[in-house]
Every structure is written in C-alpha cells, then in structure tokens.
Structure 1
C-alpha cells in the first residue's frame, strides 16, 4: 500500500472493542461474533479475511447498525456508535458507507445513475447535487454521460465503480468494502483495487476490506485480521500475515489462495489436505 492523503488522517479512526453479535434469544441464541477487537487508523485499510460463515460480513453489518450488538463497543472519530437510536445514527451515517459484494443487485435497475448518486446527497440536504455527481463520475473513471444511463447498460466492473461513487458521495471517513471484487473477473478485480488505492490516496478514507481471499486482501490492506468462527485468530502487518502466517487456520487460507501455476495449485491442495487431516 502506498501513502495516503495526510491532511485527512488526523484524529481517531475506528475502534472496535470486545464486539459481540448474536441472533435470537435464550436457547435459540446463536453467537456469531465473539469478543472481536481491532482498530483502523485514519487513511488505513484493515483486511478482514475468513471463510464463509466466519462472521466477517456480520462485523461489517454491526458497524453499519444492521446487526444486533450484544456486547462491546464501536466508536468512530471519537463518537460511540453502539446501539445508537436510529435518529442519532442517521446524523452520523455519512461518515460510514458501504460497497456491497454484488454490483448487479446493489443498484436500483429502475433509476438512472444520476438519480442513484443524487439520492444520498438529497437526503443529506446537499444543494448542488448535480455538480457533485459529475465530480463523482470523474473520480471513478466514468464519462459524464453515464449519469443519464441505467445500471443494465454497464458491465460488472463499471457497476462496481458506480457503487463506489455512491459510497463516496458524502465524503465518508470509513468505507466498509464487503467482498467488493469477488463477483468480478481477475482483470476487472485488479482495476477496481487500483481505483480503491487511488481514492484512498486522494481522500484519506479508511477501509474495512472484507474478503475470503487472502491474496486479494494482501493487495489492498495495510494490516490483516484473520477471523475464524467469530474470533480473530491472527492479526498483523499485511505482508507478514499473508506470506508468513503463524496460525494454522491462516496457513490454510494461504494455501487456498488462487495461483496461475497448476503444479503449485496441486501442491497447495495436498498441503491443505495434510493440515486438515492433522486437525490444524
């Protein structure tokens, strides 16, 4: 990761302490996240990586106020966010935005791109929303006339650029990126990751980058936290965790990272089977 915009990187970032998320009550209660703690400094990216069902998306939803937090705390820029009343959370919502996994379902097909991007601006009371839309389209590398078109007229990668533009509309300090490249081909993935890099350099925004792919997380993150069954089992510098993992679960994720060489793939599959058979 390169340097980020320094003028936006002062003050507190995201602080998550002993976060617990559970669904249901009594005997039907299911604990999904169990005492997770981490921080994201302003202008930095934390990659949160784990297999399906590990609880990583639930953590992202908890930050957005969309999952039931039963313990711990979440604060951003010094403001406590845990279990805020809905009215209070709305006033802080512009500070934390989200880019979802599927660019095909995250955009309203009946709205033009102009309307999609103006909507959060209108809700926030921004007077000249159209000027901001032109700025956003330019920022994500789309032509000015894209605003008059509909989502169905764009490719998956272009739709994800539109989703990123929508997330940027209110100039948030933190963007939750929930598997934002997993539905894209490798070439388009690389372009979207490059765009996220550039936006962070230009704006100083922080990212929580959620993924099941340790290789992708390494490309975009300053630090990595590995989540397994609702618990962080390893955390550290991006290069250290992805190339020299300590925890057996992280090593399994490393061995599952796609590589183009079929011989290396076969070797990794054998090693992963060995780890699984050993109970690691």
Structure 2
C-alpha cells in the first residue's frame, strides 16, 4: 500500500482579509477587500500591483501595523490578527520586515553593530558579537562594517544591513516591501541574488512586494496580482509573468521595461492594443 504524500501546512495564511481605514464624517475607506492566500515554508510569494493597489497594506497587516477589519491572518495555525500587543510580540521574532528605503529604516546615529545588536539584546540572545559577525558575513559585508555608520555605505550595502537586521533572530517569514525599488538595476540584481541565497541556506519564506512584475518573477515561486485591493490573478510566477490571464496583469506585463529599443516599441504598441480592449 502506497503511503499518502504529506503536504506541509501553510506557514502563513491570509483568509478573506479586509482592511478599512476611517475617514472624515465617520466614513470608512476599504483598502483591502477579501484577499486570501497562503505561504508555505521556504516559499516566496510575490505581491505585485501599481501604487495604491493595496500590496503594502497587506504587508503591514501581516506585521500587525495595519488594522484588520475583517477576515483572519494565521501563523503556524495561530491567529495573529486583532490580538493583544503582548500576544503579537511572541511572534515578532518570527515575522520580520525589510523596507523600501534602507537609509530611512536605519538609525543614522547608530553604528551597524549597534543596529544589529538591538534585536539580539531585546530577545536576550547570548553571544551577540559572534552573531553580528555571522550576519555580516551572510549578507556579504566585512566584519569592520559593524564599526561604521549607515551614511558610509552605498544604497545596496545599506539594504544588506537592513536584511542582516531582519535575519538577526532567524525569522520564518520576512516581508520584503519594495526592497529593490530604490536601487539601480545592477545593485537590484545583486540584492535579489542575495535574498535567494539566504533562502536556500536558511529556509526563510518571503512575502515579496513590488510594482515590477519582472522583479517579482525573478524571485517568486507564486505571484498574486493586486488591483484596487483585490487579487485578480494568483498562480505560478513564470506563468503569471509570461502568459497572464487577467487584463490588468497583461497591462502590468506590457508596462515592464525592455532593454532592446525595438522590443520596447513593440511592447508599447501591444500595450496600447490591450488598453483599447474593452
């Protein structure tokens, strides 16, 4: 008799998520409307959409930084939405974040070593000095980087510091909120490669947020396309990027830059045709 194949339970699950922000005169604005997806251990799920689509709000809801008006978010089977701060702190080390702008997310008055030791001290981790050396090595920075300030690094190096900080407590999930959008193309590619290498070595799962379908395809296993607070397409990353089904996804695909000028002109013509399609 053949043994049944075991399927790992989702590490993170978002079910019918609704996020509504209060506005003047008691009205509420719904930013996220019934979004559902899950994330497996070691998987990368890309959230892609234009500005205002709601992708960053979903990331903030996962982190407990945005209100959850409806639905539920679970981590390892336990509800983490609409819980007390004390309860939320229990999962803080397991779910970390890398923000878009590494400079504004790093305290300019602190050395890199001080920035990295903060979460270690807060968690009571012993051997912080050795752990800092491990983290710097993991993100490809020299040991003497610990004595320097964020302003002494390039944008790509500062993002490596931010990634090291996110890795400090060995999280299971990292929410990557547009982590490469402020970087040039070459640096962007290096950071994406670094994230993939770290995932292979540690098994960390990513929720990778971006407006760029090409970037999401490069790093993600699956892609969820967001438009006006709803998922309009969800599937294999390569399939969504190369053969999208939904018209909105096709528009994102057509908007992606192409290195070849002739190819760019053809892409622009195709995009105009799609936009004219009812």
Task: Give the shorter-chain TM-score range.
Answer: over 0.9
Residues 1:90 and 2:89 aligned together: yes
Partner of 2:80: 81
User: Which secondary structure does the structure 2 equivalent of 1:68 belong to?
Assistant: coil
Partner of 1:218: 217
User: Which secondary structure does the structure 2 equivalent of 1:176 belong to?
Assistant: strand
CA offset digits 1:88-120 (Å, max 9, x no partner): 101110010000001221111000000000001
Aligned residues: 271
Moved more, 123-132 or 175-184: 123-132
Q: Which runs of 4+ in 1 moved over 4 A?
A: none
Distance 1:262 1:23 in 2: 43
Displacement of 1:131 after TM fit?
A: 1.2
Displacement of 1:11 after TM fit?
A: 5.1
User: Which secondary structure does the structure 2 equivalent of 1:209 belong to?
Assistant: strand
CA offset digits 1:159-179 (Å, max 9, x no partner): 000000000000000000000
Partner of 1:22: 20
Displacement of 1:10 after TM fit?
A: 5.8
CA offset digits 1:146-201 (Å, max 9, x no partner): 00000000000000000000000000000000000000011101100000000000
Partner of 1:161: 160
Distance 2:225 2:10 in 1: 23
Give me the TM-score of the superposition, normalised by structure 1: 0.94
CA offset digits 1:62-101 (Å, max 9, x no partner): 0000001100010111221011101110111001000000
Measured on the aligned residues, the alpha-carbon RMSD in Å equals: 1.3
Q: Which runs of 5+ in 2 are unaligned?
A: 1-6
Distance 2:104 2:29 in 1: 28
User: Which secondary structure does the structure 2 equivalent of 1:69 belong to?
Assistant: coil
CA offset digits 1:188-225 (Å, max 9, x no partner): 01100000000000000000000000000000000000
Displacement of 1:274 after TM fit?
A: 2.6
2:11 pairs with 13, 21, 26, which one?
A: 13
Distance 2:10 2:131 in 1: 27
